[in-house]
Amino acid sequence: MKPSSEDGAAQAGGPWEECFEAAAQLALRAGQIIRKALSEEKRVSTKTSAADLVTETDHMVEALILQELQQRFPSHRFIAEEAAAAGAKCVLTPSPTWIVDPIDGTCNFVHRFPTVAVSIGFAVNQELEFGVIYHCTEERLYTGRRGRGAFCNGQRLRVSGETDLSKALVLTEIGPRRDPTTLKLFLSNMERLLRAGAHGVRVIGSSTLALCHLASGAADAYYQFGLHCWDLAAATVIIREAGGVVMDTSGGPLDLMSCRVVAAGTREMAVLIAQALQTINYGRDDERPLTFMGSQTKKVLLTPLMHPARPFRVSNHDRSSRRGVTASSLQELLTKTLDALVIASGLVTLVLEEDGTVVDTEAFFQTLGDNTHLMVLEKGQKWTPGGTYIPARQPPKRQGIARVTFDLYKLNPKDVIGCLNVKATMYEMYSVSYDIRCPGLKALLRSLLWFLSHTAQMTGQCLVHTGTYMLRVLADTEERAVPSPRPRRGITSG
């Protein structure tokens, strides 16, 4: 597929320049949000296993990235970690496709371990075009563009040229599963490499950043079973452009959806690693919806992303031409409207045919009812009331006015009781939410012991005071009961 200007290709900077710029800017914006959220309290839920975590920041950042990209490039496709977790399919078609991991290293993020990244990859014709990875805390932006090199904050990246496994520093990640068979295989793979003489095997908690270390020559190889296409897409371009090799653990060509990878500075090293490994089968990203341990958080938080396409009626400014279009976002509606009414100008205003109200925000667009009548005004054209217009804006459906959701979540996966979030959403736009925090079992026990010890202390003090008081009273009574001896007469002289 050749890029057209609508697809995001800028003529001057090569194919997909505009998309690349958008990715870099979004990664920096997302990184700021993540950096700020790192030290704050988080709402943590689990996904495929107790070690596969997600927070509301993952959802928020993903929504930000996808909404922005969808608006700018409405014809593109998207694969994103949390959308996939909510059931969206991961299929890489020839269409321009964005592959997004909003927070790579979520477990680190939850624990405030400062190794977290945003990863945005982009593929066309099933071939990776560019990748952008932002190390949020160290503020390092890694980029790679097919045929144009790999960089970190503008400095060119180069992999190490090591070919000897007995001199290698190898990186890996554990993956989400913790069942005994998987753990045994994981540890035995590590042991095999250490036995082969590798200088060390490191696990840093973020596969994308580990792969960036490889690209910058700080490590010689990387392997993993259980990572996903969103962990791998951007990093693959960066490594290849830094001169490295990314392949399947079988030694064959990389399959982005196969959940397994070996990457190295040299082919020799990659092959040696691949030969040493035993396979851990994680299935494929494009063959299953991910299964969940059970968390409601994802549903509530992902609702805004899932707007279905709805029908609208659009007309030109004098109502001489009228068409029907379906769209799920304002940007999509605008694009389709221009096509349907054959309007070449990109600078148009969309208004309600009924009263000329400008429809200029996504939030407002989402409140419009099915078959709302809209009008497109080109530069210089004005809205005029129609003689017999058909009622345009349907009142929002009653059930959409307010929605209350109850969301049980855990601040920490070890919490036994967890917290309850009550959230009221008005018009699908505004929401108020209140968290009722219930402490975990340990905290509960600690509070109970604290209460008992304070009660015991106070009781003790009361007893001491009462005892002292009683003693004093008894002493007084005794004193009054025993007659005091008569004073002796004094002997006077003179």
DSSP bridge partners of 156 = 151
Which residue in the list 18, 104, 220, 407 is annotated as catalytic? 104
Confirm whether residue 101 is marked as ligand binding.
yes
Confirm whether residue 204 is marked as ligand binding.
no
Q: Is the CB of 207 or the CB of 366 nearer to ligand IPD? A: 207
Note whether 260 and 248 are within 8 A (CB): yes
Q: According to the binding rule CB under 6 A, does residue 175 interact with ligand IPD?
A: yes
d(CA 19, CA 330): 20
Three-state DSSP state, 55: strand
d(CA 112, CA 57): 13
Confirm whether residue 248 is marked as ligand binding.
no
Instruction: Give the footprint of ligand IPD on residues 191-210 (CB under 6 A).
Output: 205-207
User: Would you state the structure tokens that stand for residue 308, as one six-digit string?
Assistant: 């279905």
Note whether 118 and 61 are within 8 A (CB): yes
Note whether 116 and 136 are within 8 A (CB): yes
Catalytic: 104?
Answer: yes
Three-state DSSP state, 236: helix
Which residue in the list 46, 57, 97, 106 is annotated as catalytic? 106
Instruction: Give the footprint of ligand IPD on residues 220-239 (CB under 6 A).
Output: 226-228, 231
Q: According to the binding rule CB under 6 A, does residue 56 interact with ligand IPD?
A: no
Question: Nearest distance from residue 344's CB to ligand IPD, in Å?
Answer: 43
Q: According to the binding rule CB under 6 A, does residue 101 interact with ligand IPD?
A: yes
Question: Nearest distance from residue 214's CB to ligand IPD, in Å?
Answer: 14
The interface region with ligand IPD, picked from 103-111, 236-244, 337-345, 403-411 by CB under 6 A, is 103-111
Place of tokens 């939030």: 363
Catalytic: 81?
Answer: yes
Q: Enumerate residues 6+ apart whose C-beta is below 8 A from 315.
A: 321, 322, 323, 341, 353, 373, 374, 375, 376
In order of 82, 202, 304, the CA distances from 235 in angstroms are 19, 18, 29
Among 104, 129, 241, 354, binds ligand IPD (CB under 6 A): 104
Total residues binding ligand IPD (CB under 6 A): 16
Note whether 395 and 419 are within 8 A (CB): no
Q: According to the binding rule CB under 6 A, does residue 81 interact with ligand IPD?
A: yes
Q: According to the binding rule CB under 6 A, does residue 55 interact with ligand IPD?
A: no
Q: What is the CA radius of gyration of the chain?
A: 33
Which residue in the list 18, 52, 62, 81 is annotated as catalytic? 81
Give the burial class of 361: count Cβ atoms within 10 A of its Cβ; 0-12 exposed, 13-18 middle, 19 or more buried: exposed
Question: Nearest distance from residue 227's CB to ligand IPD, in Å?
Answer: 4
Catalytic: 82?
Answer: no
Three-state DSSP state, 142: strand
Q: According to the binding rule CB under 6 A, does residue 332 interact with ligand IPD?
A: no
Confirm whether residue 104 is marked as ligand binding.
yes
Catalytic: 318?
Answer: no
Annotated binding site for Mg(2+): 81, 101, 103-104, 231
* Residues identified as active-site: 81, 101, 103-104, 106, 231
Binding residues: 81, 101, 103-104, 231
Residues near ligand IPD, by CB under 6 A? 81, 101, 103-106, 173-175, 205-207, 226-228, 231
